[in-house]
Amino acid sequence: MTHGFVLLLLAVLSGGPAHAGTIYDGAWSVVVYTASGPCDPSYRISGQITDGRIYYAYGSIEVSGQVAAGGDTHVHVTAGSSHGEARGHMTATRGNGSWSGQGPDGRCAGTWVATRPNTTGN
């Protein structure tokens, strides 16, 4: 599995401009850790949640998911023949969970942690 596939998993919190639809909406910083498989050890990205919706598309990469009202989070990732998912739980300021995926080099799995870089005004 290439590091590009794990970068897709990092995009789980990317989306459009944020507005006050849910307590989860706004900017987030996510760190993804690999526990098993041929992926790089960790990655960090920044992104947005809008109306509790997680969505990102660029070329053949598509990330879609949702943060439910109670904080349960589920995300699907596809990029060509590679695919994966992330599950977890979020609060208004933090989140964590697990992820797994299948790419051309094999299967990887691990955990993710999300934090809000700035919660003022949210």
3-state class (DSSP) for residue 59: coil
Element (DSSP H or E) covering residue 3: helix 3-10
Q: Is residue 120 part of a domain?
A: no
In a domain, 78, yes or no: yes
Q: Indicate the pLDDT class of residue 19, thresholds 50, 70 and 90.
A: very low
* Residue 60 resides in a domain: yes
Global pTM value: 0.76
CATH of the domain at 30: 2.40.128
Please tell me the predicted confidence (pLDDT) of residue 20: 52
Asked whether the predicted pLDDT for residue 10 surpasses 60, the reply is no
Q: Which pLDDT score is estimated for 117?
A: 82
Please give the tally of structural domains in the chain.
Answer: 1
Q: Which of 54, 44, 103, 105 shows the shortest CA–CA distance to 75?
A: 54
Query: In this model, does residue 107 exceed pLDDT 60?
Result: yes
Q: Is the pLDDT of residue 113 over 50?
A: yes
The per-residue pLDDT of the chain, averaged, comes to: 81
Give CA angle at 96 (9, 2), nearest 5°: 20
Q: Are 94 and 115 in contact (CB under 8 A)?
A: yes
The per-residue pLDDT for 9 is 52
Range of the domain at 78: 3-115
Closest Cα to residue 88, out of 110, 58, 63? 110
In a domain, 122, yes or no: no
